[in-house]
Amino acid sequence: MAYIGKEPQIGNYSVLDALSASATADYTLQLASTNFVPESANHLIVSLNGVIQKPGSSFTVGGSTLSFASSLTSSDSIDFVIALGNVLDIGVPSDDTVGAAQIKDDLISGTTALASEPADTDEFLVSDAGTLKRIDYSLIKGGGKVLQVVTANHSTTVANTGTSYATSGLSAAITPSASSSKILVLTSSLIETFGDGSNSSGRRGKVALFRGTVSGTQLREGFVGQNMVSGTTSTNDTSYNLVSFSHLDSPSTTDETTYTVGIAGDGACDVRAQHDSDMSTITLLEIGA
């Protein structure tokens, strides 16, 4: 190809600053009194005592240090060191000149992989009608995903003859992965109500869902009745009830959070939570924001 003026040269050929031999093998390469770092030993032409040296065996390069295979003496002469520059370094490509054919298929192989979900400000490249654009992860991540599930069953039958809530023995704990997560609580409890020997009417038991212990935050409450017996005879009849709750809670924390089912009577009706691994369960689902 013809050029107007001087033809462009590939590479930056330079004669480096003169080096004086002494009782050492290592010498600092400089160009115009500034340390010079060649691409490799193969990018240097080194003449010692009138003989061109072989790179890699007669000398090596580390950073800006030229190291001969053995120490020299003051009687030796380092004739010259020529740097061939960055051979075939094309510099910065012109705008809109790099295409798919110039990009290696394994470009990202071996790079560090994320070990967890990306941060909201992490960016991805997307094609918008053929134009590459950046987009924050917060704009494309899906909400409402189930991040983890915890479930538990009754371990024993528990009775409460008092009017204040006590634990039914059914509880589970979960540690949210983010404070913005919600916890979907699903419970199913087999509850037995039974009389205390009196002939009272309108007796009923109570079941409630708490965040924390039964003295924590009450989330949901339900009531269960008892079969009634008229007359003056003692009333020790019982009733079995399957009580279920579903509640979407926002604990706003990443600390371990416990959910507990509590039971209570009303004075004339006592309550017993039956141990039944099939019917008495609690399930906690962390829902991503």
User: How far apart are alpha carbons 277 and 152 in whole angstroms?
Assistant: 9
Give the global pTM. Answer: 0.52
Q: Tokens 């520059």 map to which residue?
A: 85
pLDDT at 230: 39
The residue ranges of every structural domain in the chain are 14-83, 146-228+235-287
H helices, E strands: number in the chain: 0, 21
**Token output for 163:** 């009017």
Please determine, for residue 232, whether its predicted confidence score (pLDDT) is greater than 80.
no
Please determine, for residue 145, whether its predicted confidence score (pLDDT) is greater than 80.
yes
- Eight-state DSSP code of residue 55: B
> Between 223 and 179, where is the model more confident?
179
Half-sphere exposure of 218 toward its Cβ, with a 13 Å CA cutoff? 14
Cβ(276)–Cβ(190) below 8 Å: yes
Q: How crowded is residue 129: how many other Cβ atoms within 10 Å of its Cβ? A: 5
**pLDDT for 85-129, tens place per residue?**
765 556 677 888 888 888 888 888 878 888 888 888 999 989 999
**Yes or no: domain 146-228+235-287 corresponds to CATH 3.30.70.890:** no
Per-residue buried b or exposed e for 77-94, using 16+ beta carbons within 10 Å of the residue's own CB: ebeebebbbeeeeeeeee
pLDDT at 231: 39
Please determine, for residue 58, whether its predicted confidence score (pLDDT) is greater than 70.
yes
pLDDT at 234: 47
